[in-house]
Structure 1
């Protein structure tokens, strides 16, 4: 089959999920990615990618500003590709995919990752908010299937009165051949790791405070990877407290290396502005490396781990419980910790691997193709 993958913008790293399944299925299907603005900085990505906003020298953010002017060109190019299926990521900015599907007759699948449903839940009180509402509702109406990345997101979609008959949970999965454990040295200073955007929703302030609260009782090194609006606050903490290392952005290999070294990964994501974590792939990546996790019970996060087995969950935004969980994990005995490492890896391999996710997605493609007349070729 010819499958067009569509998305408004694409940066790799970090957005590997857009191409990861296609890379695994490219011997079975002919994939092409269409996006308005792309920035691909990883040579391992081999699936063809076409973007439509010119002048890459202007920079990614400036090119985003003129995306509306190139949506028609993208829709025309998708039709010229002659897809049997169009697979849109995020229901926002879905107009080119919806138009291409309408003209060609190729069925549309839309994967909803979270921010699209948050946009629909928020009031349509600005021009941009109304635009997002129109796009999300159009994608939901026109799509033959709506794939959501967790049961939590399926519930949100149902609450927003989207067609539950179309909704299927499709966990994205992580590459367990890439994210693998290495030998763990128990005699080294334990590393507590944070990977993510430095903003209120990701909860970095709670982790900084928890680290400071337990450091004298459970010595550790806190390593913070990421960037965002709270960057200066993190940098100030790092400058004031020698056990905190702020290493900024890292490429995929750098993130994996830190995950393999870490004793614990902490993801204190919480509600902010009506949004919660839809899933949390960083939790799966860490566990695939054999690293136990600590997180708030928020959004889709509980579906990405086993509480008490592969790590610990604290009630959402309960700083005291986060602090206690951090101290508990840092003070685990050797046998308990090694068992948690093994269980973390096993959970991802058995239940949240990219290999399993690829099989499920291919099943959706095959089912949809069998139920749909051949699209009109142009």
Structure 2
């Protein structure tokens, strides 16, 4: 049986969840074996973890740097050791394909280049960091299509651990030029696909494969009143709004927008409640409006109950590639309002599964909220049904897994053909 090795430097957040779900979907089909490389995996997939000790020289060099160096030297030494362990794991049990996800915290481009000599690689774009000179999000800047020579704008989100953007871009471009035959990019949204095409034109292969949402877990509950009572929201007499993120500490997640939104709604509908899921900075608590802070919800069935308790999902992020929370909410039959940024404009179909705000502001988001709440009950129910139907049709884990497997098979076949002709 062919093997795909999943690699992700992080085990929480949207990218890690998407990676874990894909691994589980592929494993359940029984065609490909799924393994994690160098202990980076999530045990909840049930996949085998393949790890290995790095060479003795790498261990000795790491111990010396850790003892004598400062924080920057230690971080670099840890990254070097991590890469050595990853390379040793590949040598120990060679997979048919390697599938990279977020690797911002250690895996080097030099190691990826060396791995490509042995194994084809599929790389999923969860943000723009690998397309640019190290910006997770380029904001209004389009310089990533031609060298990143301009000064980064204020609305860009930079990877501060990387070097100068133009230098990073040039190094990556040199690597990409040599990797065209055995490296394939996967974009989880049409918007990200368009960014990748703008970056690479026709020089590299890019595939559009949407995230899969487990609709057996995220699904509508028949009795919303009972769900609210179970979650301690039974006394809410007005509309219940919901916002969710892994963490709202980044300004891109829109905590400040939610604060202003609730201040606006407090004047127009005093009984409105905003349920906030995720880590919320204490210093950013709204001065007006009624908010319920539920914290970070890890258990997915409990998260589904919160989706079912709400009337509307509010996504205030200033940037998102393909936000899982919007798709999870839709699977539970929960319409959403959001800004028309990144993949949000694709995840929310304006007027069908929710509404998109006309601009990035709290007042525009408030208008979108009021637009939904003004709908008659039959129109709201129709929108709820449209949310669920779209997820089942377009964001199925089985479809996602099958498309990835077809991509893996194609890369393996190309490698074998090249070996015969070479």
Give the alignment partner of residue 138 of structure 1, picking from 153, 165, 175.
175
Deviation per residue, 1:68-114 (Å, 9 max, x gap): 32202211212321211111114653543432231x2x211111111
* CA 1:108–1:351: 2 relative to 1, 3 Å: same
1:166 aligns with 2:213: no
Q: Check the 8 A contact 1:36/1:67 in 2, yes or no.
A: no
**What is the CA distance between 1:318 and its match in structure 2?**
3.4
2:272 is equivalent to residue 220 of structure 1: yes
- Cα distance in structure 1, aligned partners of 2:177 and 2:389: 35
User: Which structure 1 segments of 5+ residues have no match?
Assistant: 55-60, 271-275
Determine if the alignment matches structure 1 residue 99 to structure 2 residue 114.
yes
Once the two structures are superposed, the pairs formed by residues 297-312 of structure 1 within 5 Å of their partners are 297-312=340-355
Task: Describe the SS at the equivalent of 2:314.
Answer: strand
Out of 362, 367, 377, which is 1:334 matched to? Answer: 377
Between 1:90-99 and 1:362-371, the stretch displaced more is 90-99
Matched, 1:323 2:366: yes
| 2:312 alignment counterpart | 264
Q: Kindly tell me: are residues 35 and 332 of structure 1, through their superposed partners in 2, closer, same or farther at Cα, counting changes over 3 Å?
A: farther
Task: Describe the superposition over 1:191-224 as per-residue Cα deviations: whole angstroms up to 9, x where unpaired.
Answer: 2111113122121221221122123433321011
Give the drift of 1:333: 1.9
Equivalences for residues 269-288 of structure 1 within 5 A: 269-270=317-318, 276-288=319-331
CA contact (8 A) 2:15 2:126 kept: no
Provide the C-alpha distance between the structure 1 equivalents of 2:91 and 2:360, rounded to a whole number of angstroms. 47
Deviations 1:310-368 (A, max 9, x none): 10001341332211111222333211111111011111111122222112112211222
* Higher RCO by CA contacts (8 Å cutoff, separation 6 or greater): 1
Structure 1 residues 332 and 136, CA gap change in structure 2 (3 angstroms): farther
Q: Gaps (5+ residues) in structure 2?
A: 55-70, 136-143, 152-159, 226-233
> Which protein is bigger by CA-based radius of gyration?
2
Q: Which of the residues 173, 179, 188 maps onto 2:218?
A: 179
Would you say the 8 A contact 1:174–1:354 is kept in 2?
yes
The SS at the match of 1:25 is helix
Q: Does the CA contact (< 8 Å) of 2:100 and 2:122 recur in 1?
A: yes
Q: CA deviation at 1:165?
A: 4.3
Change in Cα spacing, 1:44 to 1:36, as seen in structure 2 (3 Å) is closer
CA 1:81/1:18 → structure 2, altered by over 3 Å: closer, same or farther?
same
Distance 2:261 2:13 in 1: 32
Mapped to 1, the partners of 2:84 and 2:367 lie a distance apart of 54
The superposition leaves residues 244-292 of structure 1 with CA deviations (integer Å, 9 ceiling, x where unpaired) of: 112222213332221121111111221xxxxx31111110000000000
Count of residues in Structure 1 that have an aligned counterpart in Structure 2: 355
Residue 48 of structure 1 and its aligned partner are, at CA, apart by 1.8
Structure 2: distance between partners of 1:114 and 1:136: 17
Comparing 118-127 with 80-89, greater Cα deviation is found at 118-127
Alignment of 1:239-254 (within 5 A): 240-241=287-288, 243-253=290-300, 254=302
Residue of structure 2 in register with 1:58 after alignment: none
1:36-115 counterparts in 2 under 5 A? 40=42, 44-50=44-50, 66-90=78-102, 92=104, 93-95=107-109, 96-102=111-117, 104=118, 106-115=119-128
Residues 288-303 of structure 1 correspond to what in structure 2 (within 5 A)? 288-303=331-346
Instruction: Give 3-state SS (helix, strand or coil) of 1:294's partner.
Output: strand
* Distance verdict in 2 for CA 1:13–1:269, change over 3 Å: closer
Distance in 2 of aligned mates of 1:361 and 1:25: 8
- The Cα shift of 1:296 comes to 0.3
Give the Cα separation in 2 of the matches to 1:124 and 1:80. Answer: 43
Q: TM-score, normalised by structure 1?
A: 0.82
Structure 2 vs 1, CA of residues 277 and 5 (structure 1 numbering), >3 Å: closer, same or farther?
same
Matched-pair contact (CA < 8 Å) for 1:79–1:100: no
CA 1:164–1:326: 2 relative to 1, 3 Å: farther
* 2: CA distance, partners of 1:374 / 1:71: 30
CA-based RMSD of the aligned residues comes to: 3.2
Evaluate the alpha carbon distance shift between residue 375 and residue 99 of structure 1 in structure 2; reply closer, same or farther with a 3 A threshold. Answer: farther
Within 5 Å, which residues of 2 pair with 1:229-240? Answer: 231-234=281-284, 236-237=285-286, 240=287
Distance 1:25 1:158, change over 3 A: closer
Alpha-carbon contact 2:8-2:40 (below 8 Å) kept: no
